[in-house]
């Protein structure tokens, strides 16, 4: 016990020492989700048809048994299997479109029971594919971190005047399942095209193709694949980085990945593990954000996702600002838009997408300027520091301060009609205060006084 405590203290000391020296510990490894695969198996009457070395049912049973034997030999599997069968309970005619049932539920030890159930199937009924898919949505128990996959094995098309494509789409949009796989056993070409909208379709024209399709599907179902996100700069080079990126499932809208984009030690975008069964779209949180278009990833390959995210910098300065002077804020918008891209304080530098921006700097009066941000460059804008206008009135008055440029009057700020002493931080310029005693009932009492403000100085304005 004492030795164990000493080891724990030593580990803590080493880890703390590494942190203190700026060396990060290894990142936490993200736990693998549990993959749940539901086989939806056709046992309709047409599975008695001859195919290669036997009936379609006999060949499918044998190849499924071989696959399940291989899966059963995997140590510490990160998957569970289940089996739904249709067309096996009621003979046709008459047609029973409710002939579909979950025969083996998900469990870590379901493989022997699935094999036994498959071996005992005898083709009998009709082909209710859409209804089987909809009911399959309830075959997956609630799970916080699971990948739910359906593998549909069929030798025929929908026979109950329902829509398998709509059924698949509903389950995917609800986030119940990922895109299904469909293996067509000996289907004619004109019938096979009906399954492209249900899921990823494999045409098993012979036993060898069927076996290969099963193995390819299981590889995709059980393995992630690698990808990188290329954020292109103004030269078309994948050089932009250090930006938040969120990837969503196009079909369900659910968040799949949320990362801060990183360059690895080789100066390349760091590698991600992505699910080959998901079509991704993304948002890169530049200012303003840019979208990563809908992108499929392919199993067994290193995939590239990306978008143009060319940026430059905008530096905002205030010249000769007095100590303790709080910096005003600049509201940044795209031309012609009311949507705010960012609020940037003066005295700071911020990166933006390449383009033209309109700035509304919240000084008194407001300072408006259009700037162009160029890729890989810093655009700098400087404005003068404000001065101070100290107004003293004999009596509380109603009125306002205006910026004067020749005969133009620009409204700046109202007077506080409850105060006789007021102070305003104003940009350098010429101003007129127009006022009238609050108690006066005639416009003839209106007066005005003009004064000048310079940076860092105080203008004393005594109003009669």
Establish whether the linkage from the previous residue to 94 is cis, with ω within 30° of 0: yes
Does residue 239 belong to any structural domain of this protein?
yes
**129 vs 84: CA distance, rounded Å:** 11
Report the predicted TM-score, pTM, of the whole model to 2 decimal places. 0.85
- Domain holding 421, by residue range, is 387-463
Which of the listed residues 325, 350, 384 is the one where a domain comes to its end?
Answer: 384
User: Which CATH number is 401's domain given?
Assistant: 2.60.40.1120
**270 vs 286: CA distance, rounded Å:** 18
**414 vs 152: CA distance, rounded Å:** 73
- Going by their DSSP bridges, the two strands 34-42 and 340-345 should be labelled as unpaired
Same domain, 126 and 253: no
Does residue 189 belong to any structural domain of this protein?
yes
Backbone angles phi, psi at 448, to 5 degrees: -145, 155
Same domain, 270 and 296: yes
**264 vs 59: CA distance, rounded Å:** 49
Cα 306 from chain centroid?
13
3-state SS of the chain is: CHHHHHHHHHHHHHHHHHHHCCCCCCCCCCCCCEEEEEEEEECEHHHHCEECCEEHHHHHHHHHHHHHHHHHCCCCCCEEEEEEEECCCCCCCCCCCCCEEEEEEEECCCHHHHHHHHHCCCCCECCCHHHHHHHHCCCCCCCCCEEEEEEEEECCCCCCCCCHHHHHHHHHHCCCCCCCEEEEECCCHHHHHHHCCCCEEEEECCHHHHHHHHHHHHHHHHCCEEEEEEEECCCCCECCCCCEEEEEECCCCCEEEEEECCECCCCCECCEEECCCCEEEEEECCCCCEEEEEEECCCCCEEEEEEECCEEEEEEEEECCCCCCCCCEEEEECCCCCCEEEEEECCEEEEEECEEEEEEECCCCCEEEEEEECCCCEEEEEEECCEEEEEEECCCEEEEEEEEECCEEEEEEECCCCCCEEEEEECCEEEEEEEEECCCCCHHHCEEEEEEECCCCEEEEEEC
Same domain, 233 and 346: no
Same domain, 89 and 167: yes
User: Which CATH number is 356's domain given?
Assistant: 2.60.40.10
**Is-contact 433 414, C-beta < 8 A?**
no
**Is-contact 100 84, C-beta < 8 A?**
yes
User: Which CATH number is 86's domain given?
Assistant: 3.40.50.410
The pLDDT assigned to 13 comes to 52
- How many other CB atoms are there within 10 angstroms of residue 335's CB atom? 9
**251 vs 142: CA distance, rounded Å:** 20
Same domain, 58 and 201: yes
Establish whether the linkage from the previous residue to 411 is cis, with ω within 30° of 0: no
The pLDDT assigned to 252 comes to 94
- Going by their DSSP bridges, the two strands 146-154 and 34-42 should be labelled as parallel
Same domain, 419 and 447: yes
The pLDDT assigned to 20 comes to 53
- The number of folded domains in the chain is 4
Does residue 10 belong to any structural domain of this protein?
no
Same domain, 371 and 318: yes
Polymer length of the chain: 464
- How many other CB atoms are there within 10 angstroms of residue 380's CB atom? 12
**251 vs 170: CA distance, rounded Å:** 10
Does residue 73 belong to any structural domain of this protein?
yes
Which of the listed residues 273, 308, 343 is the one where a domain comes to its end?
Answer: 308
Same domain, 397 and 447: yes
Does residue 105 belong to any structural domain of this protein?
yes
Same domain, 62 and 108: yes
Same domain, 195 and 115: yes
Which of the listed residues 384, 406, 437 is the one where a domain comes to its end?
Answer: 384
Does residue 72 belong to any structural domain of this protein?
yes
The pLDDT assigned to 6 comes to 47
Mean per-residue pLDDT pooled into runs of 10, the chain (464 residues):
48 51 75 93 94 90 94 92 97 95 97 97 96 97 93 94 96 94 86 86 90 91 92 97 97 95 95 94 98 93 96 94 79 97 96 98 95 98 94 96 95 96 96 96 95 94 91
Same domain, 328 and 300: no
Does residue 19 belong to any structural domain of this protein?
no
Same domain, 454 and 393: yes
Please work out, in degrees rounded to the nearest 5, the angle formed at the alpha carbon of residue 250 by the alpha carbons of 246 and 254: 60
Does residue 26 belong to any structural domain of this protein?
no
Query: Residue 133 corresponds to which tokens in the numbers above?
Result: 């898919």
Q: Which residues sit opposite 315 in a β-bridge?
A: 349, 380
**Is-contact 309 303, C-beta < 8 A?**
no
């Amino acid at each position: 016990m004492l030795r164990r405590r000493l080891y724990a203290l030593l580990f803590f000391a080493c880890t703390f020492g590494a942190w203190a020296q700026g060396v990060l510990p290894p990142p936490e490894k993200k736990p693998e989700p549990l993959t749940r695969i539901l086989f939806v198996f056709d046992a309709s009457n047409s599975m008695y048809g001859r195919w290669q070395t036997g009936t379609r049912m006999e060949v499918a049973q044998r190849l499924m048994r071989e696959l399940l034997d291989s899966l059963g030999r995997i140590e510490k599997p990160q998957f569970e299997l289940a089996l739904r069968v249709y067309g096996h309970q009621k003979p046709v005619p008459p047609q029973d479109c409710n002939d579909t049932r979950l025969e083996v539920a998900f469990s870590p030890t379901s493989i022997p029971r699935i094999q036994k159930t498959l071996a005992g199937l005898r083709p009998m009924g009709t082909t209710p594919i859409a209804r089987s898919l909809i009911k399959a949505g309830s075959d997956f128990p609630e799970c916080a971190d699971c990948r739910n996959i359906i593998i549909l094995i069929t030798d025929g098309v929908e026979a109950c005047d329902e829509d398998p494509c709509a059924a698949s789409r509903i389950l995917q949009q609800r986030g119940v399942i990922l895109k299904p796989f469909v293996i067509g056993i000996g289907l004619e070409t004109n019938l096979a095209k009906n399954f492209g909208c249900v899921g990823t379709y494999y045409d098993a024209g012979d036993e060898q193709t069927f076996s290969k399709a099963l193995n390819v599907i299981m590889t995709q179902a059980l393995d992630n694949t690698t990808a990188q996100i290329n954020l292109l700069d103004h030269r078309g080079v994948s050089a932009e980085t250090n930006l938040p990126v969120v990837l969503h499932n196009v079909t369900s809208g659910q968040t799949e990945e949320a990362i801060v984009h990183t360059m690895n030690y080789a100066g390349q975008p760091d590698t991600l593990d992505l699910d080959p069964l998901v079509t991704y779209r993304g948002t890169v949180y530049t200012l303003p954000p840019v979208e990563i278009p809908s992108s499929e990833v392919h199993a067994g390959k290193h995939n590239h996702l990306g978008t143009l995210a060319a940026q430059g910098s905008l530096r905002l300065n205030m010249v000769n600002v007095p100590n303790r002077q709080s910096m005003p804020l600049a509201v940044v918008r795209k031309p012609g838009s009311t949507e705010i891209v960012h609020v940037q304080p003066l005295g700071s530098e911020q990166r933006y997408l390449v383009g033209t921006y309109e700035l509304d700097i919240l000084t008194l009066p407001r300072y408006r300027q259009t700037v162009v941000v160029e890729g890989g460059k810093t655009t700098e804008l400087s404005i003068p520091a404000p001065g101070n206008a100290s107004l003293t009135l004999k009596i509380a008055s109603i009125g306002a301060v205006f910026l004067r440029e020749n005969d133009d009057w620009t409204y700046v700020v109202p007077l506080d009609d409850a105060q006789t002493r007021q102070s305003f931080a104003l940009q350098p310029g010429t101003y007129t205060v127009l006022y009238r005693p609050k108690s006066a009932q005639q416009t003839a009492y209106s007066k005005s006084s003009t004064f000048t403000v310079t940076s860092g100085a105080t203008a004393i304005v005594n109003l009669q």
